[in-house]
Amino acid sequence: MEMREVEEGLILSIKVIPRAGKNEIVGWQAERLKIKVCAPPEKGEANQAVISLLAKALDVPPHKIRLLKGETKRKKEILILGFTRFQFEKSSYRSKGDLYPFHFKN
């Protein structure tokens, strides 16, 4: 899984699937967190839907999530301000000693 802590917070690599049937954080796929959103990839709608979904799942205000790279791409990097890897892992669940992502649906 691709995440790294920086002074400002936690950077996550994500892959976004716009125009999906539901808003959902699917899980890790090829080192990226796969996120499906119903919104189209037009006028930043899908990006905003991703931010809203992550904010709700991680219990952080949406203004603390920033898009760093990939504004018009499916592969993106986001920064969660003031967030740590430990906090992210706490938002996930563990099974057999491995970290599995939360399966969050909205």
**Residue 80 covered by a domain:** yes
Question: How would DSSP label each residue in 29-90?
Answer: ETTEEEEE-SS-SSTTHHHHHHHHHHHHHHT--GGGEEEEE-TTSSEEEEEEET--HHHHHH
**How many domains would you assign to the chain?**
1
CATH code: domain of residue 89: 3.30.1200.10
**Residue 22 covered by a domain:** yes
Write out the residue range of the structural domain in which residue 36 sits. 3-101
Angle of CA points 74, 80, 86, to nearest 5°: 115
pLDDT digits (tens, 9 = 90+) for 9-37: 999 999 999 999 999 988 888 889 999 99
**Residue 106 covered by a domain:** no
**Residue 64 covered by a domain:** yes
**Residue 73 covered by a domain:** yes
**Residue 14 covered by a domain:** yes
Whole-structure pTM value: 0.84
pLDDT digits (tens, 9 = 90+) for 31-84: 899 999 999 999 999 999 999 999 988 889 999 999 999 999 999 999 999 999
